[in-house]
Structure 1
Protein backbone atom coordinates (compact mmCIF):
# COMPACT_ATOMS: atom_id res chain seq x y z
CA UNK A 1 0.00 0.00 0.00
CA UNK A 2 1.27 3.44 -0.94
CA UNK A 3 1.23 6.14 1.73
CA UNK A 4 2.52 9.71 1.78
CA UNK A 5 2.85 12.39 4.43
CA UNK A 6 4.11 15.95 4.15
CA UNK A 7 4.89 19.07 6.14
CA UNK A 8 5.91 22.60 5.17
CA UNK A 9 7.07 25.35 7.50
CA UNK A 10 8.28 28.93 6.98
CA UNK A 11 11.23 28.35 9.29
CA UNK A 12 12.47 30.69 12.00
CA UNK A 13 13.73 33.61 9.88
CA UNK A 14 11.58 34.12 6.79
CA UNK A 15 8.38 36.16 7.07
CA UNK A 16 6.55 34.04 4.50
CA UNK A 17 6.58 30.47 3.24
CA UNK A 18 7.44 30.28 -0.46
CA UNK A 19 7.47 26.47 -0.47
CA UNK A 20 4.44 24.51 -1.65
CA UNK A 21 3.62 20.81 -1.87
CA UNK A 22 0.80 18.47 -2.79
CA UNK A 23 0.03 14.78 -2.39
CA UNK A 24 -2.60 13.18 -4.63
CA UNK A 25 -3.84 9.62 -5.02
CA UNK A 26 -4.02 9.12 -8.79
CA UNK A 27 -5.70 5.73 -8.36
CA UNK A 28 -5.65 2.70 -6.07
CA UNK A 29 -2.19 1.81 -7.39
CA UNK A 30 -0.61 5.19 -8.15
CA UNK A 31 0.44 8.17 -6.04
CA UNK A 32 1.63 11.67 -6.96
CA UNK A 33 3.68 14.07 -4.86
CA UNK A 34 4.98 17.52 -5.86
CA UNK A 35 7.35 19.82 -3.95
CA UNK A 36 8.30 23.35 -5.09
CA UNK A 37 10.55 26.04 -3.60
CA UNK A 38 9.65 29.47 -4.96
CA UNK A 39 12.00 32.35 -5.63
CA UNK A 40 11.74 35.93 -6.83
CA UNK A 41 10.69 38.03 -3.88
CA UNK A 42 8.18 37.39 -1.12
CA UNK A 43 5.16 37.68 -3.39
CA UNK A 44 6.58 36.14 -6.57
CA UNK A 45 8.11 33.06 -4.99
CA UNK A 46 4.89 32.14 -3.26
CA UNK A 47 2.85 32.59 -6.44
CA UNK A 48 5.32 30.64 -8.58
CA UNK A 49 5.48 27.63 -6.28
CA UNK A 50 1.76 27.51 -5.52
CA UNK A 51 0.74 27.78 -9.17
CA UNK A 52 3.33 25.25 -10.29
CA UNK A 53 2.11 22.70 -7.72
CA UNK A 54 -1.53 23.28 -8.66
CA UNK A 55 -1.00 23.12 -12.42
CA UNK A 56 1.22 20.02 -12.29
CA UNK A 57 -1.15 18.22 -9.93
CA UNK A 58 -4.19 19.04 -12.06
CA UNK A 59 -2.52 18.16 -15.36
CA UNK A 60 -1.19 14.79 -14.21
CA UNK A 61 -4.43 14.01 -12.38
CA UNK A 62 -6.47 14.71 -15.50
CA UNK A 63 -4.24 12.83 -17.95
CA UNK A 64 -2.88 9.86 -16.00
CA UNK A 65 -4.30 6.38 -16.66
CA UNK A 66 -3.47 3.13 -14.88
CA UNK A 67 -2.63 1.40 -18.17
CA UNK A 68 0.23 3.82 -18.83
CA UNK A 69 3.68 2.29 -19.15
CA UNK A 70 6.82 4.02 -17.86
CA UNK A 71 7.33 6.00 -21.06
CA UNK A 72 3.76 7.31 -20.98
CA UNK A 73 4.11 8.31 -17.33
CA UNK A 74 7.35 10.12 -18.17
CA UNK A 75 5.64 11.97 -21.02
CA UNK A 76 2.66 13.11 -18.97
CA UNK A 77 4.96 14.29 -16.17
CA UNK A 78 7.17 16.28 -18.54
CA UNK A 79 4.09 17.68 -20.27
CA UNK A 80 2.70 18.85 -16.94
CA UNK A 81 5.98 20.57 -16.08
CA UNK A 82 6.10 22.22 -19.51
CA UNK A 83 2.55 23.57 -19.13
CA UNK A 84 3.32 24.89 -15.65
CA UNK A 85 6.54 26.50 -16.88
CA UNK A 86 4.74 28.32 -19.70
CA UNK A 87 1.96 29.61 -17.45
CA UNK A 88 4.24 30.81 -14.65
CA UNK A 89 6.54 32.43 -17.21
CA UNK A 90 3.60 34.29 -18.79
CA UNK A 91 2.36 35.43 -15.37
CA UNK A 92 5.77 36.92 -14.64
CA UNK A 93 5.88 38.69 -18.01
CA UNK A 94 2.46 40.29 -17.53
CA UNK A 95 3.04 41.64 -14.00
CA UNK A 96 6.21 43.60 -13.31
CA UNK A 97 5.80 42.88 -9.60
CA UNK A 98 6.35 39.20 -10.43
CA UNK A 99 9.28 39.67 -12.81
CA UNK A 100 11.97 37.07 -12.27
CA UNK A 101 9.85 34.71 -10.23
CA UNK A 102 10.34 30.97 -10.56
CA UNK A 103 10.49 27.78 -8.57
CA UNK A 104 12.44 24.60 -8.15
CA UNK A 105 10.45 21.42 -8.37
CA UNK A 106 10.43 17.71 -7.65
CA UNK A 107 7.54 15.68 -9.08
CA UNK A 108 7.17 12.01 -8.18
CA UNK A 109 4.72 9.43 -9.48
CA UNK A 110 4.80 5.99 -7.90
CA UNK A 111 3.13 3.06 -9.67
CA UNK A 112 3.77 -0.69 -9.84
CA UNK A 113 6.84 -0.60 -7.60
CA UNK A 114 8.45 2.12 -9.72
CA UNK A 115 9.25 5.70 -8.76
CA UNK A 116 9.21 8.21 -11.62
CA UNK A 117 10.88 11.54 -10.79
CA UNK A 118 11.12 14.85 -12.65
CA UNK A 119 13.09 17.69 -11.10
CA UNK A 120 14.66 21.09 -11.71
CA UNK A 121 16.78 23.14 -9.31
CA UNK A 122 18.16 22.10 -5.94
CA UNK A 123 15.16 20.51 -4.29
CA UNK A 124 15.91 16.81 -3.94
CA UNK A 125 14.58 13.26 -3.89
CA UNK A 126 16.17 10.52 -1.78
CA UNK A 127 15.45 6.79 -1.84
CA UNK A 128 15.81 4.75 1.34
CA UNK A 129 16.72 1.16 0.59
CA UNK A 130 18.71 -1.49 2.45
CA UNK A 131 19.21 0.94 5.31
CA UNK A 132 20.93 3.52 3.11
CA UNK A 133 19.97 6.96 1.79
CA UNK A 134 20.49 7.27 -1.96
CA UNK A 135 20.20 10.67 -3.62
CA UNK A 136 18.02 10.30 -6.71
CA UNK A 137 18.41 13.83 -8.08
CA UNK A 138 21.37 15.94 -9.14
CA UNK A 139 21.28 19.57 -8.05
CA UNK A 140 20.98 22.00 -10.94
CA UNK A 141 23.25 24.54 -9.30
CA UNK A 142 26.50 26.41 -9.80
CA UNK A 143 28.26 24.54 -7.00
CA UNK A 144 27.15 21.15 -8.37
CA UNK A 145 28.77 22.02 -11.70
CA UNK A 146 31.95 22.95 -9.83
CA UNK A 147 31.83 19.64 -7.95
CA UNK A 148 31.41 17.70 -11.19
CA UNK A 149 34.34 19.59 -12.71
CA UNK A 150 36.53 18.67 -9.75
CA UNK A 151 36.84 22.29 -8.62
CA UNK A 152 34.98 21.85 -5.31
CA UNK A 153 34.44 19.12 -2.76
CA UNK A 154 31.00 18.47 -1.26
CA UNK A 155 32.21 20.06 1.99
CA UNK A 156 33.47 23.17 0.20
CA UNK A 157 30.22 23.45 -1.76
CA UNK A 158 28.21 23.48 1.47
CA UNK A 159 29.75 26.82 2.48
CA UNK A 160 30.37 28.32 -0.97
CA UNK A 161 29.02 31.90 -1.42
CA UNK A 162 27.19 30.82 -4.58
CA UNK A 163 25.63 27.68 -3.12
CA UNK A 164 22.12 29.11 -3.64
CA UNK A 165 22.65 29.92 -7.33
CA UNK A 166 20.58 27.45 -9.34
CA UNK A 167 20.94 26.81 -13.07
CA UNK A 168 17.45 25.49 -13.82
CA UNK A 169 14.08 26.57 -12.46
CA UNK A 170 10.46 26.53 -13.58
CA UNK A 171 9.04 29.79 -14.89
CA UNK A 172 12.20 31.78 -15.54
CA UNK A 173 12.45 31.02 -19.26
CA UNK A 174 10.22 30.04 -22.18
CA UNK A 175 11.32 26.43 -21.91
CA UNK A 176 12.61 24.26 -19.08
CA UNK A 177 14.98 21.32 -19.44
CA UNK A 178 13.65 19.28 -16.53
CA UNK A 179 15.45 16.05 -15.69
CA UNK A 180 13.71 12.67 -15.51
CA UNK A 181 14.81 9.57 -13.64
CA UNK A 182 13.18 6.38 -12.49
CA UNK A 183 13.97 3.69 -9.97
CA UNK A 184 12.51 0.53 -8.51
CA UNK A 185 10.45 1.31 -5.43
CA UNK A 186 10.00 -2.00 -3.68
CA UNK A 187 7.96 -2.92 -0.65
CA UNK A 188 9.52 -1.53 2.52
CA UNK A 189 11.32 1.31 0.77
CA UNK A 190 10.77 5.03 1.36
CA UNK A 191 11.21 8.13 -0.77
CA UNK A 192 11.89 11.59 0.66
CA UNK A 193 11.37 14.69 -1.46
CA UNK A 194 12.36 18.01 0.10
CA UNK A 195 13.51 21.58 -0.39
CA UNK A 196 16.97 22.93 0.41
CA UNK A 197 15.64 24.40 3.64
CA UNK A 198 15.97 20.85 4.95
CA UNK A 199 19.14 19.68 3.22
CA UNK A 200 21.10 22.83 4.07
CA UNK A 201 20.49 22.31 7.78
CA UNK A 202 20.20 18.56 8.36
CA UNK A 203 22.97 16.15 7.40
CA UNK A 204 22.02 13.17 5.28
CA UNK A 205 22.98 10.70 8.00
CA UNK A 206 20.57 12.44 10.39
CA UNK A 207 17.83 12.40 7.77
CA UNK A 208 18.38 8.67 7.31
CA UNK A 209 18.32 8.05 11.04
CA UNK A 210 15.03 9.93 11.31
CA UNK A 211 13.50 8.03 8.40
CA UNK A 212 14.49 4.67 9.84
CA UNK A 213 13.65 5.27 13.49
CA UNK A 214 10.45 7.36 13.32
CA UNK A 215 6.86 6.40 12.62
CA UNK A 216 6.36 7.25 8.96
CA UNK A 217 3.53 9.72 9.63
CA UNK A 218 5.79 11.66 12.02
CA UNK A 219 8.83 11.88 9.74
CA UNK A 220 8.01 15.18 7.96
CA UNK A 221 7.35 17.07 11.21
CA UNK A 222 10.46 15.63 12.84
CA UNK A 223 12.63 16.65 9.89
CA UNK A 224 11.17 20.17 9.93
CA UNK A 225 11.88 20.39 13.67
CA UNK A 226 15.48 19.30 13.13
CA UNK A 227 15.99 21.99 10.47
CA UNK A 228 14.48 24.64 12.73
CA UNK A 229 16.70 23.51 15.60
CA UNK A 230 19.71 24.19 13.36
CA UNK A 231 18.60 27.75 12.63
CA UNK A 232 15.65 27.39 10.27
CA UNK A 233 16.98 30.15 8.01
CA UNK A 234 14.85 29.07 5.05
CA UNK A 235 11.42 27.62 4.38
CA UNK A 236 11.37 23.86 4.95
CA UNK A 237 9.32 21.20 3.19
CA UNK A 238 9.55 17.42 3.52
CA UNK A 239 7.29 14.79 1.96
CA UNK A 240 7.86 11.09 2.62
CA UNK A 241 6.33 8.31 0.54
CA UNK A 242 6.39 4.66 1.54
CA UNK A 243 5.55 1.34 -0.04
CA UNK A 244 4.14 -1.08 2.53
Structure 2
Protein backbone atom coordinates (compact mmCIF):
# COMPACT_ATOMS: atom_id res chain seq x y z
CA UNK A 1 0.00 0.00 0.00
CA UNK A 2 1.24 3.45 -0.92
CA UNK A 3 0.23 6.41 1.19
CA UNK A 4 1.04 10.04 1.89
CA UNK A 5 -0.06 12.67 4.38
CA UNK A 6 0.35 16.42 4.45
CA UNK A 7 -1.02 19.31 6.49
CA UNK A 8 -0.69 23.06 6.67
CA UNK A 9 -1.88 25.90 8.87
CA UNK A 10 -3.29 27.76 5.85
CA UNK A 11 -2.09 31.06 4.39
CA UNK A 12 -4.60 33.21 6.27
CA UNK A 13 -3.46 31.84 9.65
CA UNK A 14 0.23 31.68 8.87
CA UNK A 15 0.95 34.90 10.73
CA UNK A 16 0.05 33.53 14.15
CA UNK A 17 -2.67 30.91 14.02
CA UNK A 18 -2.17 27.29 14.98
CA UNK A 19 -2.97 24.13 13.08
CA UNK A 20 -5.81 22.33 14.83
CA UNK A 21 -5.93 19.45 12.32
CA UNK A 22 -4.51 16.02 13.08
CA UNK A 23 -3.92 12.93 10.93
CA UNK A 24 -2.98 9.36 11.76
CA UNK A 25 -2.45 6.24 9.66
CA UNK A 26 -1.54 2.71 10.71
CA UNK A 27 -0.65 0.26 7.91
CA UNK A 28 -0.51 -3.52 8.35
CA UNK A 29 1.72 -4.85 5.56
CA UNK A 30 2.16 -8.61 5.23
CA UNK A 31 4.21 -10.72 2.83
CA UNK A 32 4.54 -14.51 2.73
CA UNK A 33 5.85 -17.12 0.31
CA UNK A 34 5.38 -15.90 -3.27
CA UNK A 35 2.97 -13.10 -2.47
CA UNK A 36 -0.75 -12.58 -2.80
CA UNK A 37 -2.40 -15.12 -5.10
CA UNK A 38 -5.51 -14.81 -7.22
CA UNK A 39 -6.35 -17.08 -10.17
CA UNK A 40 -2.73 -17.95 -10.84
CA UNK A 41 -1.45 -14.40 -10.54
CA UNK A 42 -0.70 -12.14 -7.66
CA UNK A 43 -2.65 -8.96 -7.04
CA UNK A 44 -0.51 -7.01 -9.50
CA UNK A 45 -1.19 -9.48 -12.31
CA UNK A 46 2.29 -11.01 -12.06
CA UNK A 47 2.40 -14.31 -13.90
CA UNK A 48 3.53 -17.61 -12.34
CA UNK A 49 5.30 -20.45 -14.07
CA UNK A 50 4.13 -24.06 -14.12
CA UNK A 51 5.72 -24.74 -10.74
CA UNK A 52 3.71 -21.98 -9.13
CA UNK A 53 6.69 -19.67 -8.69
CA UNK A 54 6.50 -15.98 -9.60
CA UNK A 55 7.97 -14.88 -12.90
CA UNK A 56 10.63 -12.53 -11.53
CA UNK A 57 10.91 -10.75 -14.87
CA UNK A 58 7.42 -9.36 -14.23
CA UNK A 59 8.33 -7.78 -10.90
CA UNK A 60 8.19 -8.63 -7.20
CA UNK A 61 5.26 -10.47 -5.59
CA UNK A 62 2.55 -8.38 -3.99
CA UNK A 63 2.15 -7.98 -0.28
CA UNK A 64 -1.23 -7.89 1.40
CA UNK A 65 -2.09 -4.59 3.05
CA UNK A 66 -4.65 -3.37 5.51
CA UNK A 67 -4.85 0.03 7.15
CA UNK A 68 -6.49 2.27 9.71
CA UNK A 69 -6.88 5.97 8.94
CA UNK A 70 -8.14 8.91 10.96
CA UNK A 71 -8.31 12.63 10.30
CA UNK A 72 -9.71 15.25 12.66
CA UNK A 73 -10.24 19.00 12.43
CA UNK A 74 -10.34 20.74 15.80
CA UNK A 75 -13.08 23.35 16.07
CA UNK A 76 -11.56 26.81 15.79
CA UNK A 77 -12.59 29.41 18.31
CA UNK A 78 -12.71 26.93 21.17
CA UNK A 79 -10.06 26.48 23.83
CA UNK A 80 -8.58 23.16 22.85
CA UNK A 81 -9.47 22.16 19.29
CA UNK A 82 -5.88 21.04 18.72
CA UNK A 83 -5.98 18.72 21.73
CA UNK A 84 -9.36 17.36 20.67
CA UNK A 85 -8.16 16.46 17.17
CA UNK A 86 -4.97 14.86 18.54
CA UNK A 87 -6.93 12.71 20.96
CA UNK A 88 -9.45 11.74 18.27
CA UNK A 89 -6.92 10.44 15.76
CA UNK A 90 -4.69 8.66 18.26
CA UNK A 91 -7.54 6.96 20.14
CA UNK A 92 -9.21 5.80 16.91
CA UNK A 93 -6.00 4.21 15.63
CA UNK A 94 -5.29 2.62 19.01
CA UNK A 95 -8.75 1.05 18.99
CA UNK A 96 -8.81 -0.10 15.36
CA UNK A 97 -5.26 -1.34 14.69
CA UNK A 98 -5.91 -4.73 16.39
CA UNK A 99 -9.21 -5.04 14.52
CA UNK A 100 -7.42 -4.69 11.17
CA UNK A 101 -4.69 -7.18 12.03
CA UNK A 102 -7.22 -9.78 13.16
CA UNK A 103 -9.40 -9.26 10.09
CA UNK A 104 -6.41 -9.74 7.79
CA UNK A 105 -5.33 -12.91 9.64
CA UNK A 106 -8.69 -14.44 8.77
CA UNK A 107 -7.59 -15.02 5.14
CA UNK A 108 -4.46 -17.21 4.99
CA UNK A 109 -5.63 -18.40 1.58
CA UNK A 110 -4.35 -15.15 0.08
CA UNK A 111 -0.90 -16.67 0.54
CA UNK A 112 -1.94 -20.25 -0.34
CA UNK A 113 -1.64 -21.24 3.34
CA UNK A 114 -4.02 -24.00 4.43
CA UNK A 115 -5.25 -23.54 8.02
CA UNK A 116 -8.40 -25.13 9.45
CA UNK A 117 -11.06 -22.46 9.87
CA UNK A 118 -11.66 -23.52 13.46
CA UNK A 119 -8.22 -22.12 14.29
CA UNK A 120 -8.96 -18.73 12.80
CA UNK A 121 -10.96 -15.78 14.13
CA UNK A 122 -14.49 -15.37 12.83
CA UNK A 123 -14.75 -13.46 9.59
CA UNK A 124 -16.02 -9.94 10.38
CA UNK A 125 -18.98 -8.72 8.34
CA UNK A 126 -19.26 -5.20 6.97
CA UNK A 127 -21.64 -4.48 9.85
CA UNK A 128 -19.07 -5.78 12.36
CA UNK A 129 -16.38 -3.50 10.96
CA UNK A 130 -18.68 -0.48 10.77
CA UNK A 131 -19.60 -1.10 14.40
CA UNK A 132 -15.91 -1.28 15.32
CA UNK A 133 -15.30 2.05 13.58
CA UNK A 134 -18.28 3.67 15.32
CA UNK A 135 -17.15 2.29 18.70
CA UNK A 136 -13.64 3.67 18.15
CA UNK A 137 -15.04 7.12 17.33
CA UNK A 138 -17.23 7.04 20.44
CA UNK A 139 -14.15 6.07 22.48
CA UNK A 140 -12.38 9.10 21.01
CA UNK A 141 -15.38 11.27 21.88
CA UNK A 142 -15.20 10.10 25.50
CA UNK A 143 -11.46 10.83 25.64
CA UNK A 144 -12.09 14.39 24.45
CA UNK A 145 -14.98 14.84 26.89
CA UNK A 146 -12.74 13.58 29.71
CA UNK A 147 -10.05 16.08 28.76
CA UNK A 148 -12.56 18.92 28.64
CA UNK A 149 -13.91 17.98 32.07
CA UNK A 150 -10.43 17.71 33.60
CA UNK A 151 -9.07 20.92 32.06
CA UNK A 152 -12.23 23.00 32.29
CA UNK A 153 -11.92 23.92 28.62
CA UNK A 154 -14.08 23.57 25.53
CA UNK A 155 -12.73 20.89 23.20
CA UNK A 156 -14.45 19.93 19.95
CA UNK A 157 -13.35 18.24 16.74
CA UNK A 158 -14.65 16.60 13.59
CA UNK A 159 -13.40 13.16 12.62
CA UNK A 160 -13.49 10.83 9.63
CA UNK A 161 -11.93 7.42 10.16
CA UNK A 162 -12.03 3.86 8.98
CA UNK A 163 -10.32 0.64 8.03
CA UNK A 164 -9.24 -0.68 4.64
CA UNK A 165 -9.21 -4.46 4.60
CA UNK A 166 -9.96 -7.25 2.12
CA UNK A 167 -10.82 -4.93 -0.75
CA UNK A 168 -13.26 -2.72 1.14
CA UNK A 169 -13.16 0.50 3.11
CA UNK A 170 -15.35 0.59 6.22
CA UNK A 171 -15.62 4.11 7.57
CA UNK A 172 -17.47 6.54 9.79
CA UNK A 173 -17.58 10.28 10.34
CA UNK A 174 -18.78 13.10 12.57
CA UNK A 175 -18.70 16.67 11.30
CA UNK A 176 -17.65 18.05 7.93
CA UNK A 177 -14.30 16.43 7.23
CA UNK A 178 -14.60 14.30 4.11
CA UNK A 179 -13.57 11.07 2.39
CA UNK A 180 -13.43 10.58 -1.39
CA UNK A 181 -12.50 7.83 -3.82
CA UNK A 182 -10.69 9.04 -6.93
CA UNK A 183 -10.62 6.35 -9.63
CA UNK A 184 -8.08 6.45 -12.44
CA UNK A 185 -9.80 3.85 -14.63
CA UNK A 186 -13.10 5.76 -14.68
CA UNK A 187 -11.58 9.25 -14.27
CA UNK A 188 -14.10 9.78 -11.48
CA UNK A 189 -14.36 11.21 -7.97
CA UNK A 190 -16.97 10.00 -5.50
CA UNK A 191 -17.78 11.63 -2.16
CA UNK A 192 -18.16 8.97 0.54
CA UNK A 193 -19.36 11.26 3.33
CA UNK A 194 -22.05 13.88 3.84
CA UNK A 195 -21.24 16.97 5.89
CA UNK A 196 -22.84 17.43 9.27
CA UNK A 197 -23.18 21.16 8.75
CA UNK A 198 -25.67 23.99 8.34
CA UNK A 199 -24.92 24.43 4.64
CA UNK A 200 -25.57 20.74 3.95
CA UNK A 201 -28.92 21.01 5.73
CA UNK A 202 -29.85 24.08 3.67
CA UNK A 203 -28.88 22.22 0.50
CA UNK A 204 -30.86 19.13 1.51
CA UNK A 205 -33.96 21.29 2.02
CA UNK A 206 -33.51 22.82 -1.41
CA UNK A 207 -32.91 26.31 -0.02
CA UNK A 208 -29.54 26.70 -1.76
CA UNK A 209 -28.00 25.12 -4.87
CA UNK A 210 -24.59 23.50 -5.41
CA UNK A 211 -22.92 26.78 -6.36
CA UNK A 212 -24.21 28.70 -3.34
CA UNK A 213 -23.12 25.85 -1.08
CA UNK A 214 -19.50 26.47 -2.10
CA UNK A 215 -19.49 30.04 -0.76
CA UNK A 216 -22.34 30.27 1.75
CA UNK A 217 -21.48 32.53 4.72
CA UNK A 218 -22.42 29.76 7.18
CA UNK A 219 -19.99 27.27 5.65
CA UNK A 220 -17.96 27.06 8.87
CA UNK A 221 -20.90 25.96 11.06
CA UNK A 222 -21.04 22.26 11.89
CA UNK A 223 -23.99 20.48 13.49
CA UNK A 224 -22.17 17.52 15.01
CA UNK A 225 -18.75 17.09 16.65
CA UNK A 226 -16.76 15.04 19.14
CA UNK A 227 -16.07 16.52 22.55
CA UNK A 228 -17.76 18.97 24.86
CA UNK A 229 -17.48 21.91 27.21
CA UNK A 230 -16.45 20.06 30.34
CA UNK A 231 -19.97 19.28 31.51
CA UNK A 232 -20.43 15.74 30.19
CA UNK A 233 -19.86 12.34 31.82
CA UNK A 234 -16.82 10.75 30.11
CA UNK A 235 -18.02 7.26 31.06
CA UNK A 236 -21.36 7.48 29.26
CA UNK A 237 -20.87 10.23 26.68
CA UNK A 238 -21.91 9.28 23.17
CA UNK A 239 -22.21 10.85 19.72
CA UNK A 240 -24.11 9.75 16.60
CA UNK A 241 -21.69 8.27 14.05
CA UNK A 242 -22.61 7.71 10.41
CA UNK A 243 -20.97 4.65 8.87
CA UNK A 244 -20.75 2.86 5.54
CA UNK A 245 -18.76 0.23 3.62
CA UNK A 246 -17.78 0.31 -0.06
CA UNK A 247 -15.46 -1.73 -2.30
CA UNK A 248 -12.12 -0.24 -3.27
CA UNK A 249 -10.06 -1.11 -6.35
CA UNK A 250 -6.46 -1.02 -7.55
CA UNK A 251 -7.03 2.19 -9.52
CA UNK A 252 -8.61 4.01 -6.56
CA UNK A 253 -6.99 6.67 -4.42
CA UNK A 254 -8.65 7.07 -1.05
CA UNK A 255 -8.54 10.76 -0.17
CA UNK A 256 -9.44 11.97 3.32
CA UNK A 257 -9.41 15.71 3.96
CA UNK A 258 -10.48 18.41 6.38
CA UNK A 259 -12.80 21.14 5.13
CA UNK A 260 -9.84 23.48 4.63
CA UNK A 261 -9.51 22.06 1.12
CA UNK A 262 -13.12 22.68 0.14
CA UNK A 263 -13.65 25.87 2.13
CA UNK A 264 -10.45 27.67 1.10
CA UNK A 265 -11.90 30.86 -0.38
CA UNK A 266 -11.49 33.85 1.95
CA UNK A 267 -13.84 35.96 -0.22
CA UNK A 268 -16.68 33.44 0.02
CA UNK A 269 -19.31 35.80 1.57
CA UNK A 270 -18.74 38.41 -1.13
CA UNK A 271 -18.91 35.76 -3.86
CA UNK A 272 -22.17 34.49 -2.37
CA UNK A 273 -23.71 37.95 -2.42
CA UNK A 274 -22.62 38.53 -6.03
CA UNK A 275 -24.06 35.17 -7.07
CA UNK A 276 -27.43 35.83 -5.40
CA UNK A 277 -27.63 39.42 -6.65
CA UNK A 278 -26.91 38.19 -10.19
CA UNK A 279 -29.96 35.97 -10.00
CA UNK A 280 -27.83 32.83 -9.82
CA UNK A 281 -26.95 33.20 -13.48
CA UNK A 282 -24.67 30.81 -15.33
CA UNK A 283 -22.05 33.54 -15.64
CA UNK A 284 -22.06 34.22 -11.89
CA UNK A 285 -21.91 30.50 -11.19
CA UNK A 286 -18.81 30.20 -13.36
CA UNK A 287 -17.13 32.99 -11.40
CA UNK A 288 -17.77 31.07 -8.17
CA UNK A 289 -16.48 27.78 -9.59
CA UNK A 290 -13.31 29.47 -10.81
CA UNK A 291 -12.67 30.93 -7.35
CA UNK A 292 -13.24 27.84 -5.18
CA UNK A 293 -11.85 24.30 -5.05
CA UNK A 294 -14.21 21.92 -6.83
CA UNK A 295 -14.37 18.13 -6.71
CA UNK A 296 -13.42 18.03 -10.38
CA UNK A 297 -10.22 19.99 -9.68
CA UNK A 298 -9.37 17.63 -6.82
CA UNK A 299 -9.88 14.66 -9.14
CA UNK A 300 -7.71 16.11 -11.89
CA UNK A 301 -4.91 17.03 -9.51
CA UNK A 302 -4.82 13.62 -7.83
CA UNK A 303 -4.91 11.70 -11.13
CA UNK A 304 -2.43 14.06 -12.79
CA UNK A 305 0.22 13.80 -10.05
CA UNK A 306 3.27 11.57 -10.41
CA UNK A 307 2.95 10.26 -6.84
CA UNK A 308 0.73 10.44 -3.80
CA UNK A 309 3.33 12.67 -2.15
CA UNK A 310 3.05 15.09 -5.06
CA UNK A 311 -0.75 14.90 -4.93
CA UNK A 312 -0.78 15.67 -1.20
CA UNK A 313 1.47 18.72 -1.56
CA UNK A 314 -0.45 19.79 -4.66
CA UNK A 315 -3.73 19.81 -2.73
CA UNK A 316 -2.12 21.97 -0.04
CA UNK A 317 -0.90 24.41 -2.70
CA UNK A 318 -4.30 24.45 -4.41
CA UNK A 319 -6.05 25.36 -1.16
CA UNK A 320 -3.59 28.13 -0.39
CA UNK A 321 -3.78 29.47 -3.95
CA UNK A 322 -7.55 29.86 -3.49
CA UNK A 323 -7.21 31.75 -0.23
CA UNK A 324 -5.92 29.34 2.42
CA UNK A 325 -8.81 30.26 4.71
CA UNK A 326 -8.35 27.44 7.21
CA UNK A 327 -6.09 24.64 8.38
CA UNK A 328 -5.82 21.84 5.86
CA UNK A 329 -4.87 18.19 6.20
CA UNK A 330 -5.00 15.30 3.74
CA UNK A 331 -4.42 11.56 3.76
CA UNK A 332 -4.08 9.63 0.48
CA UNK A 333 -3.74 5.86 0.07
CA UNK A 334 -3.91 3.29 -2.73
CA UNK A 335 -3.21 -0.42 -3.03
CA UNK A 336 -2.22 -1.77 -6.46
CA UNK A 337 -2.60 -5.35 -5.16
CA UNK A 338 -6.40 -4.98 -5.04
CA UNK A 339 -8.67 -6.24 -7.85
CA UNK A 340 -8.98 -3.99 -10.88
CA UNK A 341 -11.90 -1.62 -11.40
CA UNK A 342 -14.80 -3.36 -13.18
CA UNK A 343 -14.96 -2.68 -16.91
CA UNK A 344 -17.61 -0.53 -18.51
CA UNK A 345 -19.67 -3.62 -19.40
CA UNK A 346 -19.46 -5.14 -15.91
CA UNK A 347 -21.22 -2.46 -13.88
CA UNK A 348 -19.70 -0.19 -11.27
CA UNK A 349 -20.64 -0.32 -7.58
CA UNK A 350 -22.56 2.65 -6.19
CA UNK A 351 -20.10 4.14 -3.73
CA UNK A 352 -20.94 7.83 -3.43
CA UNK A 353 -23.02 8.54 -0.34
CA UNK A 354 -25.31 10.78 -2.41
CA UNK A 355 -24.90 9.89 -6.12
CA UNK A 356 -25.37 12.64 -8.70
CA UNK A 357 -27.48 10.38 -10.89
CA UNK A 358 -30.25 8.26 -9.34
CA UNK A 359 -29.49 4.55 -9.10
CA UNK A 360 -32.66 3.72 -11.04
CA UNK A 361 -31.34 5.71 -14.02
CA UNK A 362 -28.22 3.56 -14.37
CA UNK A 363 -28.16 0.63 -16.77
CA UNK A 364 -26.17 -1.66 -14.46
CA UNK A 365 -25.40 -1.09 -10.82
CA UNK A 366 -23.88 -3.14 -8.02
CA UNK A 367 -25.08 -2.12 -4.60
CA UNK A 368 -22.54 -2.25 -1.72
CA UNK A 369 -22.76 -5.42 0.34
CA UNK A 370 -24.62 -7.38 -2.33
Shorter-chain TM-score bucket reads over 0.9
Is the alpha carbon distance of 1:77 and 1:190 closer, same or farther for their aligned partners in structure 2, counting shifts above 3 Å? same
Indicate conservation of the 8 Å contact 1:121/1:141, yes or no. yes
1:72 positional shift = 2.3
**Aligned partners of 2:77, 2:97: CA distance in 1, in Å?**
30
Indicate conservation of the 8 Å contact 1:16/1:42, yes or no. no
**Aligned partners of 1:158, 1:80: CA distance in 2, in Å?**
31
1:170 positional shift = 1.0
After superposition, residues 160-239 of structure 1 pair within 5 angstroms as 160-172=216-228, 174-201=237-264, 202-215=293-306, 216-239=308-331
Aligned residue for 1:140, secondary structure, equals coil
1:70 positional shift = 2.1
Structure 1: where are the runs of 5+ without partners? Answer: none
**Aligned partners of 1:63, 1:53: CA distance in 2, in Å?**
16
Aligned to 2:20: 18
1:167 positional shift = 0.9
Structure 2: where are the runs of 5+ without partners? Answer: 31-64, 107-123, 265-292, 337-370
TM-score (norm. length: structure 1): 0.93
Higher Cα Rg: structure 1 or 2?
2
Aligned residue for 2:11, secondary structure, equals coil
Aligned to 1:50: 86
Indicate conservation of the 8 Å contact 2:197/2:223, yes or no. yes
Q: Which has the higher contact order (CA 8 A, sep 6+)?
A: 1
1:108 positional shift = 2.4
**Aligned partners of 1:161, 1:42: CA distance in 2, in Å?**
19
1:176 positional shift = 0.8
1:158 positional shift = 2.1
**Aligned partners of 2:126, 2:79: CA distance in 1, in Å?**
37
Indicate conservation of the 8 Å contact 2:263/2:325, yes or no. no
Aligned pairs, how many? 241
TM-score (norm. length: structure 2): 0.62
Indicate conservation of the 8 Å contact 1:126/1:136, yes or no. yes
Tell me which of 186, 197, 204 is aligned to 1:148. Answer: 204
Tell me which of 125, 128, 142 is aligned to 1:86. Answer: 142
CA shift digits 1:190-209 (9 cap, x unpaired): 11100010112322111111
